[in-house]
Amino acid sequence: MRELPKKFKGKDLKEALSIAAESLKCDIDSLEYNDLGKEKKGFFGIGSQCHAIEVTNVVNTNLEIDTSIGGYFKLYEENEGIYLSVYPPENRGKYITWKEVKEYLESQGYEITSEPELKEIVRRADGVKENVLEYVSEHIIDGSFDLEVKDQNMKALLNVALPQGRGKKISRDEIYQELNKRNITYNVDFEAINRYVENGTYSEYKVIAQGKEPVDGEDAKIQIHFEKKERKPVLKEDGSVDYYNIDNIINVKSGDVLATKEPPSEGTPGKDIFNKTLPPKQGKDKRIKAGKHTVLSEDEMSLQAEIDGQVSMNADGLINVFPVYEVSGDVGVSTGNIDFVGNVIVKGQVTSGLEVKAAGDILIKESIDSCYIEAGGNVDIKGGMQGRNKGKIKAEGSVTCKFIENATVEAGGDVRVVEGILHSHVKGNSIYAFEGRKGLIVGGEISANEEVISKIMGSNFATNTEIEVGLDPKTREKKAKIYEDLKNTKDNIEKTDKAIAILQKTKQKLGQLPQEKENMLIRLQRTRSHLITAQESLNNENDALTDLVKESKKGVVKVLKTIHPGVKIVIGEISTNIKDEQRAICYKLSEEGEITSGPVK
């Protein structure tokens, strides 16, 4: 076995090559080598010189030339015939096989109709030109295309099938003609068409024309020009909450611009693939809602203050400027109840049994007892509310308070409580009780349209606490009232039916009723008709509200620390009871309409 590369030496190049050829048992001409030149003999290069080479390969120079030629065939058409000639091999070449001939015929679009005769021609391989028209037929399927219009005339889709066998390709002109015939002229992708004609679409429909969707106009926007201060306690540097010094009062002067309107835009038209203009939806207009002591410009594009006072905007966007009524101390027996057309500031407390009503905002700088507070705007109580199951706050806007205990609160906006809500009935857009040290909700019923957030929900004693979200409290009340009205209507129909049945049975038995009873029967039948109409109306209203509830997926309950057993969570009309203590958890509705929970984000 030769181990190459290998080094050989001689007194000159010729001798080195001879030594290498003899050693490797080959001719000198077969050697492939590197000439290393002269080298010194002896240790450390001392002594006489020699010539060295490095042999890298030995080439076989005695190769035989293969002159064999394999069998082959020719296929051609002439004089309306299809001719096949099969030629034999030469010089020990291989015969062409039937499989090779068959594969070629099929690849050229010929369908074999009689195999034995063709096999015989291939077997003979005598080079004779033979007409095989009766043994094969041409497989011809021309290319084709299909054009579809989809998405309300916004897309044209093309499917191109390539020809089979000796079929004819479709041309791009054929597709262009079809587009023109069908008036598809807008945003046609001619490059894509050319590409699909050449390569086909592999049974897929490809977009070759795309319409342009109209861009709807933007709704009118109302720009507010006074600072809308968030009714939220201030967090001090030491981590405590300053709920006394919350500056929520916004003063304005007569003539100040309170709001301006940016009119709605018309939008941008679109086009379908037939070049038809698609009109956009024009943006919806909005009105600046002018309240008390405000002046709307003639073009209704701006709103100004009419007097010096406090500006307020409620949950519906109504802007008022109110004069201020100030009580320097407590609201009690000495002051009596207060009912004022503007804003009210109470620097002391509101004692038990008293009422404070204001068309605007109410600011109470200390606590309130079991009293009644009603505001057309916001209510801000620096202290807490000890309601003793009698006290109530009703506000069109938001409510801010240190704590709420054994009371009822109804707000059109948000309710923010610093320390907690205990055994109370509270309704609002969103309800927050997490900004203080405790941040708890224990007992009672809490109902919010958007979300409820607290640090603690429920207690170690499994106190019954109901948290409802995902439905406007007013809608929830309306649904409950409809349910009650339906129940009463059904009961009345049943009572009426029983009375009618008794009178009709008596009439059938006697032949006729006394006039008084006959009049009663007529009244009962009329009453029943009214009850049925009322029942249908209530059912329709109930169905509409039910659909509204099902469509709504909003509503979130977040617990930042701990939720205890005994808490019931209702989202929309789906409810779940908490059976095990959970920490830092969020509840919401899944797309399938089930309540799911996960970590608070």
- Do 350 and 458 lie in a common domain? yes
Lowest mean pLDDT among 68-77, 201-210, 262-271, 322-331: 68-77
Q: Which residues, at least 6 apart from 114, have a Cβ–Cβ distance to it below 8 Å?
A: 134, 135
- Note the pLDDT of residue 37: 82
Q: Which residues, at least 6 apart from 514, have a Cβ–Cβ distance to it below 8 Å?
A: none
- Distance in angstroms (rounded) separating the CA atoms of residues 15 and 500: 140
Q: Which of 38-47, 219-228, 530-539, 563-572 has the highest mean pLDDT?
A: 563-572
- Note the pLDDT of residue 10: 87
- Residues 383-441: tens digit of each pLDDT: 999 999 999 999 999 999 999 999 999 999 999 999 999 999 999 999 999 988 999 99
User: Residue 504: how many CB atoms within 10 A of its CB?
Assistant: 14
- Of all residues in the chain, what percent carry a pLDDT higher than 90? 47
Lowest mean pLDDT among 50-54, 248-252, 523-527: 248-252
The answer to whether the CB of 441 falls within 8 A of the CB of 420 is: yes
Lowest mean pLDDT among 24-38, 96-110, 131-145, 207-221: 131-145
Residue 522 lies in a domain: yes
The answer to whether the CB of 401 falls within 8 A of the CB of 422 is: no
- Do 513 and 365 lie in a common domain? no
Closest Cα to residue 360, out of 412, 316, 314? 314
- Note the pLDDT of residue 165: 63
Residue 582 lies in a domain: yes
Q: At 144, phi and psi to the nearest 5?
A: -145, 170
pTM for the model: 0.50
Residue 386 lies in a domain: yes
- Residues 124-181: tens digit of each pLDDT: 989 888 887 666 666 667 888 999 999 999 999 999 988 876 678 888 999 999 999 9
Place of tokens 């009850």: 531
Residue 215 lies in a domain: no
The answer to whether the CB of 555 falls within 8 A of the CB of 451 is: yes
- Do 206 and 240 lie in a common domain? no
- Note the pLDDT of residue 82: 79
The answer to whether the CB of 412 falls within 8 A of the CB of 314 is: yes
- Note the pLDDT of residue 218: 94
- Distance in angstroms (rounded) separating the CA atoms of residues 29 and 43: 33
Place of tokens 């640090």: 455
- Note the pLDDT of residue 244: 40
Strand 465-469 relative to strand 451-457, pairing: unpaired
DSSP letters, 66-90, are: ---B--EEEEEEETTEEEEEEE--B
- Do 274 and 161 lie in a common domain? no
The answer to whether the CB of 327 falls within 8 A of the CB of 346 is: yes
- Note the pLDDT of residue 45: 45
The CATH number of residue 532's host domain is 1.10.287
State whether the Cα torsion 19-22-28-34 is positive or negative: negative
Q: Which tokens sit at 456?
A: 């603690």
CA dihedral 251, 254, 255, 260 (to 10 degrees): 40
- Confidence at 308, pLDDT banded by 50, 70, 90: confident
- Note the pLDDT of residue 237: 61
CA-based angle 241:245:249, to the nearest 5? 130
Last residue within a domain, chosen from 263, 286, 312: 312
- Do 298 and 233 lie in a common domain? yes
- Confidence at 578, pLDDT banded by 50, 70, 90: very high
Place of tokens 């989202």: 571
- Distance in angstroms (rounded) separating the CA atoms of residues 309 and 178: 73
Residue 425: helix, strand or coil by DSSP?
A: strand
- Do 377 and 510 lie in a common domain? no
Q: Which of 66-70, 84-88, 164-168, 260-264 has the highest mean pLDDT?
A: 260-264
- Note the pLDDT of residue 302: 96
Residue 401: helix, strand or coil by DSSP?
A: strand
- Confidence at 67, pLDDT banded by 50, 70, 90: low
The secondary structure element, H or E, covering residue 214 is none
- Confidence at 552, pLDDT banded by 50, 70, 90: low
The answer to whether the CB of 519 falls within 8 A of the CB of 509 is: no
- Do 31 and 163 lie in a common domain? no
- Distance in angstroms (rounded) separating the CA atoms of residues 303 and 315: 18
- Do 345 and 467 lie in a common domain? yes
- Note the pLDDT of residue 402: 95
Q: Which tokens sit at 417?
A: 């409580």
Last residue within a domain, chosen from 36, 58, 80: 58
The answer to whether the CB of 55 falls within 8 A of the CB of 8 is: yes
DSSP letters, 507-556, are: HHHHSS--HHHHHHHHHHHHHHHHHHHHHHHHHHHHHHHHHHHHH----E
- Note the pLDDT of residue 27: 79
- Note the pLDDT of residue 44: 43
Q: Which tokens sit at 506?
A: 């008596």
- Do 334 and 405 lie in a common domain? yes
- Distance in angstroms (rounded) separating the CA atoms of residues 192 and 214: 25
- Do 123 and 201 lie in a common domain? no
- Distance in angstroms (rounded) separating the CA atoms of residues 535 and 482: 10
Between helix 172-181 and helix 190-199 the angle, nearest 10°, is 130
Number of domains in the chain: 6
- What does the mean pLDDT of the chain come to? 86
Residue 430 lies in a domain: yes
- Note the pLDDT of residue 246: 45
- Give me the amino acid identity at 137: S
- Confidence at 243, pLDDT banded by 50, 70, 90: very low
Place of tokens 């497989």: 139
Residue 12 lies in a domain: yes
| Structural domain range at position 451 | 323-472+554-599
Strand partners, 363: 345, 380
HSE of 170, CA atoms in CB hemisphere, 13 A: 24
Q: Which tokens sit at 95?
A: 């015969």
Is the predicted pLDDT of residue 106 greater than 50, yes or no?
Answer: yes
Closest Cα to residue 423, out of 408, 401, 405? 405
Q: Which tokens sit at 27?
A: 């001719």
511 or 224, greater pLDDT: 224
Q: Which tokens sit at 254?
A: 């007569």
What secondary structure letter does DSSP report for 412?
S
- Distance in angstroms (rounded) separating the CA atoms of residues 449 and 213: 35
- Give me the amino acid identity at 383: G
- Residues 438-456: tens digit of each pLDDT: 999 999 999 999 999 999 9
Residue 64 lies in a domain: no
- Average of pLDDT values for 64-69? 62
- Distance in angstroms (rounded) separating the CA atoms of residues 463 and 273: 65
Residue 1 lies in a domain: no
- Do 447 and 577 lie in a common domain? yes
- Note the pLDDT of residue 11: 87
State whether the Cα torsion 474-479-480-484 is positive or negative: positive
- Do 558 and 446 lie in a common domain? yes
The beta-strand segments (E) located in 249-370 are 251-252, 257-262, 267-268, 270-271, 277-278, 294-296, 302-305, 309-313, 319-322, 324-327, 338-340, 343-346, 355-358, 362-364
Q: Which residues, at least 6 apart from 140, have a Cβ–Cβ distance to it below 8 Å?
A: 109, 164, 165, 166, 167
- Note the pLDDT of residue 459: 94
- Distance in angstroms (rounded) separating the CA atoms of residues 254 and 294: 9
